[in-house]
Amino acid sequence: EGCGNGACTNELCASCLGFQPLDHNAAAIRALELYKINTKLCDLHPSAAFPDNNSAEDTQPALLGDCHGKMTDNLFPPREDFREVHYLTEEKVYEILSICEGKKDYSPLIRVIGRIFSSTDGLVQSFRKDKEQHPNTKEQHPNTKEQHPNTKETTAMEQESEASASMEGATGSTENRLGPVEVSVDIEAVRRVYNRLLSNEKMESAFLNALVYLTPNVELDLTYLDVYDTNPDYLNIFIIVMENSSLHSPEYLEMAMPLFCKCMSKLPLPALAKLTCLWSQYSVEHIRRMMETFQQLITYTVTLPLRYLIHLVFYANVLGGDFDTGHNEEEEPPSSELTLQELLGEERRNKNGPRVDPLEKELGIRTLDCRRPLIPFEEFVNEPLNDVLEMDKDFTFFKVDSESKFSFQSCPFILNACTKSLGLYYDNRISMYSERRITALYSLVQGQQLNPYLRLKVRRDHIIDDALVRLEMIAIENPADLRKQLFVEFEGEQGVDEGGVSKEFFQLVLEEMFNPDIGMFTYDEFTKLFWFNPPSLENEAQFTLIGIVLGLAIYNNCILDVHFPMVVYRKLMGKKGTYLDLTDSHPVQYQSLKELLDYEGDVEEDMMITFQISQTDLFGDPITYDLKENGDKIPVSVDNRKEFVSLYSDYILNKSVERQFKAFRRGFQMVTNESPLKCLFRPEEVELLICGSRNLDFHALEETTEYDGGYNKDCHIIKDFWETVHSFGEEDKRLFLQFTTGTDRAPVGGLGKLKMIIAKNGPDTDRLPTSHTCFNALLLPEYDTKEKLKERLLKAITYAKGFGML
């Protein structure tokens, strides 16, 4: 086309009079040759930039550099470049598209898209709400609301969230809490443009190439010029790009998205927070699309800046759901006593508590605050990543806490509970080794012989008294000793604790403490769950002991058979119980309160309830409690019934058991307060960590079992053994697990994660099978018949108790 100057003297320019016309292919080859040798370009002549109202005939001679224009008319038909377009609006895109469709040539629009979408200035100014709109915009898009109902859907969702969280004191809405997020870009217009243009394959390539050219410029702007501080509308670039529904395609994942992620990592924290709040107002479909895009990118290529994008989508998902930033348990002040580490000049691990994500702090929320996210948390878990992640290396990067070392444990929501439990295991083991080393060093300095382990010697028939006295002394004298490796010894028994003895110790303590006759806990026959007994006469030390036992179980990687409602784990993590928590802890009261809230009649006249409630004490005598001052004189009505439900729930779940739960939580935190438990796990995952999985898949256990002593999976007795085990009922299967592993629960991740060993223990005999619970090993004689195998095995698992030396 040339420079447009009819008097151009550059022989390599198409505007030169002596230039011989070329077809498109020849021109392309010639252009590449000239580019290779860095040929100087002509300056664009003013006659080449023509206004919209100029006809093609008027501009043709100037473009071709031929004053006659007739000979080259067929070879080079005029093409508009729209060089006067410096930014795009929805109307301008449709105008250019209409011209291109009429000529069946989309190259002008492709060039405009490539030029504007690769320019930071052009993209920042494009699709602005404050730009003059075309008068026929509404006529051109009469079905805008029907095609893009995101605003309507979000409003409905927020109303539902407010209704479900009214008893919580939760906002349930990003707008209510943080205010509406105002941006200058017209997001709906951007979406309509993308939907119309991306159906054309050539347009899709234009967007991709433009993004590749755009990202280096954006990175430079954000790194050296602080452009967001001077122009907050710079965020429009990221808003517009992220509306592209083709970002999940392989071409984007390979060529453009890693670079774009790097640009995103350069945004200042307030910009990231604003973008998160904006996305939280999107519909579920849009958030899910972004989540899936970044999950594919994580699976495809692991780069440091990815955490910024996946964090944004995750927190947008939290902000857009039901969340409750109130109802927090009071945090215990950190101990002012010096530990051995500090006496020796070492810093205490995680002294200031668990790590806090900077974006989480900027937004003023926690994952724990979210009752119901827009997208279930489970959908954020990246299973392909969990299958290949090397947790030993990742944990090392996590502890380094360096910007140059990225760890997926800083994005715990994409890891499953099994992977995170392995990270917690490494942390606990390092802590044990650290305590052992510090004790040895202190012994050398002070000349005192201290025990590097937490040793408990107990009597079976006095297990609570012995354990309580010993652990209470440790908790008072030096709580750090609780983070040493546990070794339990039963008096009069020869068992050496390599894990199995500790498992039985935990189980016996819990059986004793949860015995309804003691009165520490109440048991609900309907839910099969335990709850703190408000009028319990037991002292706080025994509740502290149970908290310590739960903490030690996590710390020493033991599974416990405890049955608490989910609200207990939420409270342990720092949230108070509220109305919605009654669903599993007190279902009868929950149903009654729900009927009160839903009642359409005259509440005051028909129900005759006041703000005074009645309960029974330990001896069955009635006691009353005023939810408000002079509660017996305040009737519950339609106007104050929500307040009544909130106060009643708070009393049942918090105030009535405050003494017991504080002691329980104090004991739990004595062991876990310096571990990454809080920053890695959600309450439901903590329950899984303590109690294990209730789903017993013995076929998965069969697949992972190893054999020793001459046995293999094809042996006749091994086949008989598994047929026998699979024929057991649920109770016998649990007894078998208890006998072999020391617990009747599956570990986190199911029985497939359990490494059981079946070893040959001699020829046919009348002896019973035996086990090493420390190593999950079953010693099985080679019985002659299947019937004898079943009879001997059932007797062994039914009457197994105690430890001895084989």
By DSSP bridging, strand 612-616 and strand 770-772 are: unpaired
Q: Which tokens is 629 given?
A: 């001052």
> How many CB atoms are located within 10 Å of the residue 617 CB?
11
Kind and range of the H or E run holding 625: strand 622-626
Q: Are 227 and 233 in contact (CB under 8 A)?
A: no
Q: How far, rounded to the nearest angstrom, does the alpha carbon of residue 370 sit from its chain's CA centroid?
A: 11
User: Among 283, 173, 181, which Cα is nearest to 232's?
Assistant: 181
Three-class DSSP category at 128 = strand
**Ramachandran assignment for 49, one of left (phi > 0), alpha (psi -120 to 50 degrees), beta (any other):** beta
Q: Which tokens is 752 given?
A: 């497939």
First to last CA, the chain: 94
Q: How many Cα atoms are found within 13 Å in the side-chain-facing hemisphere of 134?
A: 16
Phi, psi dihedral angles at 615 (to 5 degrees): -140, 175
> How many CB atoms are located within 10 Å of the residue 212 CB?
16
Distance between CA atoms of 110 and 202, rounded to whole angstroms? 7
Q: Which is catalytic among the residues 3, 418, 558, 774?
A: 774
Kind and range of the H or E run holding 616: strand 612-616
Query: Any residues with CB less than 8 A from the CB of 604 and at least 6 apart, and which?
Result: 635, 636, 637, 638
User: Among 118, 115, 111, which Cα is nearest to 96's?
Assistant: 111
Look up 558 and say whether it is catalytic: no
Query: Any residues with CB less than 8 A from the CB of 745 and at least 6 apart, and which?
Result: 559, 560, 561, 691, 692, 693, 694, 737
Q: Are 780 and 760 in contact (CB under 8 A)?
A: yes
Strand partners, 780: 760
Query: CA angle, 212 as apex, 206 and 216 as ends, to 5°?
Result: 145
> How many CB atoms are located within 10 Å of the residue 352 CB?
8
Q: Which tokens is 782 given?
A: 């080679």
User: Among 581, 598, 578, which Cα is nearest to 651's?
Assistant: 578
Distance between CA atoms of 616 and 533, rounded to whole angstroms? 11
Distance between CA atoms of 445 and 340, rounded to whole angstroms? 11
SS3 content of the chain, % helix, strand, coil (to 5): 55, 5, 40
Q: Which tokens is 258 given?
A: 């890693």
C-alpha Rg value of the chain to the nearest Å: 35
Strands (E) in 425-515, as ranges, are 454-458, 486-490
Query: Any residues with CB less than 8 A from the CB of 465 and at least 6 apart, and which?
Result: none
Q: Are 280 and 315 in contact (CB under 8 A)?
A: yes
Q: What is the DSSP string of 31-91?
A: HHHHHHTTPPPPPPPGGGS--TTS-HHHHHHHHHT-SS-STTTTTS------TT--S--HH
Q: Which tokens is 316 given?
A: 């947008």
Q: Which tokens is 250 given?
A: 């392989």
- Give the largest CA-CA distance in the chain: 115
Exposure string for 118-141, b = 16+ CB within 10 A, e = fewer: bbbebbbbbbbeebeeeeeeeeeb
| DSSP designation for 757 | E
Question: Hey, what amino acid is at 353?
Answer: G
Catalytically active residues, by annotation: 774
